[in-house]
Amino acid sequence: MTDLKNFRFETDADGIALATWDMPGRSMNVITEAVMDELERIVETVAGDAAIKGCVVTSGKDNFSGGADLTMLQGLGREYEKLKAEAGEEPAMRHFFEASRRLSLLFRRLETCGKPFAAAVSGICLGGAFELALSCHHRVVSDDEKTRVGLPEIKVGLFPGGGGTQRVARLMQTGDALQMLFKGEQIRPLMARNMGLVHAVAPKAEIVETAKAWIRAGGSGVAPWDVPKFKAPSGKVYSPAGMMIWPPANAIYRRETHDNYPAAKAILASVYEGLQLPMDLALKVESRYFAMILRTKEAAAMIRTLFISMGELNKGARRPKDVAATNLRKVGIVGAGFMGAGVAYVTANAGLDVVLLDQSLEAAEKGKAYAHTLVTGQINKGRARTADRDALLARIRTSADYADLKGCDLVIEAVFEDPKVKAEVVAKVEAVIGPDTVFASNTSTLPITGLAKASARPEQFVGIHFFSPVEKMMLVEIIKGQATGERALATALDYVRTIRKTPIVVNDARGFFANRCVGAYILEGHKMLIEGVPPAMIENAGKMAGMPVGPLSLNDEVALDLGLKIAKATEAQLGPEAVDPAQKKLLVDLVEGQGRLGRKNRKGFYDYPEGAPKRLWPGLRDMQPAHLDPETVDIAELKHRLLVVQALEAARTVGEGVITDPREADVGSILGFGFAPFTGGALSYIDFMGARAFLDLARGLEARHGARFAAPDNLVAMAESGETFYGQAAKKAA
């Protein structure tokens, strides 16, 4: 076959075929309609040619494949809607089901074609690509450090629809299989072999030959589950052993998802039902669930935000197009405290040289020691080598002398949140850096335009707001002050891309985007506490709504005294009406009256006993002016309050021009503060509900709980016109 475009196909002297997947013009192989067409031809050629003993499938790129092209799956949804309008729901659904299971049927044909197939995998092999490998009769993976396999579909609201749920559940103990499918993690080569997912691990240069050797030695072209009398690793579903698995699995599903993720429920059902059936029927069950999940709003929202939008932002969607690429080599960081130390680590970890500066060399060295601690933790887990730590630490130069910042391409200040302190740093830095060096402030709330007044070059001044802890949080807010130039913005975006984090660009405002929404969430938790809602109910309502932690727990993480400082600073600058007096009193009582600062001093809304789980502080009840009977509290309304108040704040940032691209609000809300991922983000929460329905919900809450639930004018206008945030953005782009 010489007319293949996405594969190279050749047969060696032993009659073993090699199908090398190498899509032209792409850095990564993805499963498309054209790829499926060609793979079908390869399978039929191997099956129909008596001279071919078997086939090895490998990649011609550094990575095997990232999986299916999710825009292809989006297209299936559009086809369904079009056909439904033209021919009715039943034929539309039939077409949708058959189209959505095409990949599953193709992999099953490969598995049952009668000839042995082996996968030779190096680099990333995820999602549908790993399902291709699972349908092969033998799997060899490279021992290369970058090699990973896995089924991460759950992270974008989907679940494996190419046979993954059924094959994994027949290769592993049921509990382990469910855990793998629920977590969607990327698995390293040796771990994959130990889990029974792959058969062999070999050096990268030898994976193809190792796979061929298996075929040459008479490798079987029959999958284990197609052998008569096959028994699943955990036995029958309806057995004493099975009943030790399924009730706890269901309980864990409920605890972890609060029924917010249809794909997780579909995984549970698909494995439960599939293990009771022969493979072909089991795959059909999986396909029915897959077709159902593909049509959910949760899948649509999560695919759009966490795959498409995030990918576009990571590739520079908001970068000024007419600014040449910057060549960052050395970054200065002023302030070696917790944030500065984290920034130094991620910068050095990306291969850049770092000058870490503080008031004393001792303080700077303490910041550098944080990087040592982090890499040592990775070494202990087998994820890094001592040589990696030595190389990283060699890239961090500590100093107490501002003159050492000379030659830096970018300088980031991470000093105390005080405009006067920051102004002093700006003056000292600008006295030594070159004219082309960009200066960035890692402030979390202070407006960049105000801070830039201390600069002699405000066009070179930009905000780069990291989230804590820096090494774990994937979001970075880049803030444009009124005078920030395009080159400074481009440099900031290039830097964030270099350190492998996701940037969003926001226009200047107090609290920017993320902290405004976070502040609204925390305030709502405080208001509930003051109303007399039991603290445990507040926290559980937050988690049931889809947030990673409750508002009181989140406040402990960011520190109660910081919240009080921000409230006092806001009041001093904008007047008493700019802060909530009841919230301020609560924080004053906790911080100044009780000495409770949050997790950092083991006392906040929670107690943090040494060596034991945190627990809500019993004294909270005494700080509540009223106490509501838990039986009278509407838990659904608590959940709505906690999400609606954040979504309203996000809508206000759009109305004020702080956010100009809905992709950034949605990606930023999920990555920055964990806004219920199943909604697709703070603006998608409104869009998928419909602006009119959301407005009615908000007005009901406003009538019962006050003006903080008042909808901004832009949202009211959108409800009247029937538009969406994404629809408006598309119009502007056109």
> Can you give the CATH number for the domain in which 616 is found?
1.10.1040.50
Please check whether residues 232 and 369 belong to one and the same domain. no
Task: List the CATH number of the domain containing 203.
Answer: 3.90.226.10
pLDDT score of 112: 98
pLDDT above 90: percentage of residues in the chain: 90
Torsion of CA 663, 665, 671, 676, to 10 degrees: -100
Give the whole-angstrom CA distance, residue 165 versus residue 314: 30
Q: How many Å separate Cα 663 from the centre of its chain?
A: 14
pLDDT exceeds cutoff 90 at 708: yes
Please check whether residues 275 and 354 belong to one and the same domain. no
Mean pLDDT on 182-193: 96
pLDDT above 70: percentage of residues in the chain: 100
Number of folded domains that form the chain: 3
Handedness of CA 21, 26, 31, 34 (dihedral sign): negative
Which domain-ending residue is among 509, 528, 555? 509
Mean pLDDT on 30-55: 97
- pLDDT, one tens digit per residue, over 370-385 is 999 999 999 998 888 9
**Is 93 part of a structural domain of the chain?**
yes
Q: What single DSSP character describes residue 235?
A: -
**Token pair 């995998």 in the structure block, residue:** 121
Residues with catalytic function: 465
Which domain-ending residue is among 474, 509, 544? 509
**Is 318 part of a structural domain of the chain?**
no
Please check whether residues 522 and 498 belong to one and the same domain. no
pLDDT score of 446: 85
Please check whether residues 158 and 266 belong to one and the same domain. yes
**Is 300 part of a structural domain of the chain?**
no
Q: Give how far Cα 497 sits from Cα of 313, 325, 468, 544, Å.
A: 9, 12, 18, 34
Please check whether residues 482 and 601 belong to one and the same domain. no
> What SS3 state is found at 403?
helix
Rg (CA), the chain: 28
Q: What single DSSP character describes residue 456?
A: S
Give the whole-angstrom CA distance, residue 454 versus residue 472: 32
Give the whole-angstrom CA distance, residue 104 versus residue 107: 5
* pLDDT band, residue 121 (cuts 50/70/90): very high
Task: List the CATH number of the domain containing 489.
Answer: 3.40.50.720
- pLDDT, one tens digit per residue, over 518-557 is 999 999 999 999 999 999 999 999 999 999 999 999 999 9
Please check whether residues 274 and 420 belong to one and the same domain. no
Please state at what angle helix 262-274 crosses helix 174-183, rounded to 10 degrees.
160
Give the whole-angstrom CA distance, residue 284 versus residue 165: 12
Closest by Cα among 458, 514, 444, 512 to 488: 458
- pLDDT, one tens digit per residue, over 427-473 is 999 999 999 999 999 988 789 999 999 999 999 999 999 998 999 99
Please state at what angle helix 262-274 crosses helix 246-257, rounded to 10 degrees.
170
Domain that holds residue 368: 330-509
**Is 98 part of a structural domain of the chain?**
yes
- pLDDT, one tens digit per residue, over 11-24 is 999 999 999 999 99
pLDDT score of 565: 87
Mean pLDDT on 168-196: 96
Amino acid at 202: A
Which pair of tokens denotes residue 175? Answer: 């509990």
Q: Which residues is 413 bridged to in the sheet? A: 334, 441
337, 114 contact by CB (below 8 A): no
305, 663 contact by CB (below 8 A): yes
Please check whether residues 481 and 520 belong to one and the same domain. no
Please check whether residues 15 and 157 belong to one and the same domain. yes
Please check whether residues 541 and 481 belong to one and the same domain. no
Mean pLDDT on 415-428: 92
Mean pLDDT on 357-382: 96
Q: Which of 78-82, 228-232, 605-609 has the lowest mean pLDDT?
A: 78-82
> What SS3 state is found at 83?
helix
**Is 226 part of a structural domain of the chain?**
yes
pLDDT score of 52: 97
Please check whether residues 660 and 716 belong to one and the same domain. yes
pLDDT score of 572: 86
Q: Residue 71's CB: how many other CB atoms inside 10 A?
A: 12
Mean pLDDT, the chain, rounded, equals: 95
**Is 315 part of a structural domain of the chain?**
no
Amino acid at 98: E
pLDDT exceeds cutoff 90 at 356: yes
Q: Which of 71-75, 226-230, 314-318 has the lowest mean pLDDT?
A: 71-75
Give the whole-angstrom CA distance, residue 265 versus residue 293: 10
Mean pLDDT on 230-259: 92
pLDDT exceeds cutoff 80 at 2: no
Helices (H), 136-244: 164-171, 174-183, 189-194, 207-216
pLDDT exceeds cutoff 80 at 1: no
- pLDDT, one tens digit per residue, over 588-609 is 999 999 999 999 999 999 999 9
Q: Which helix (H) or strand (E) holds 330?
A: strand 330-334
Give the whole-angstrom CA distance, residue 64 versus residue 132: 11
pLDDT score of 271: 97
Which pair of tokens denotes residue 672? Answer: 């920055």
Please check whether residues 369 and 238 belong to one and the same domain. no
* pLDDT band, residue 130 (cuts 50/70/90): very high
pLDDT score of 70: 83
Which domain-ending residue is among 488, 509, 530? 509
pLDDT score of 340: 97
Please check whether residues 500 and 576 belong to one and the same domain. no
**Is 214 part of a structural domain of the chain?**
yes
**Is 362 part of a structural domain of the chain?**
yes
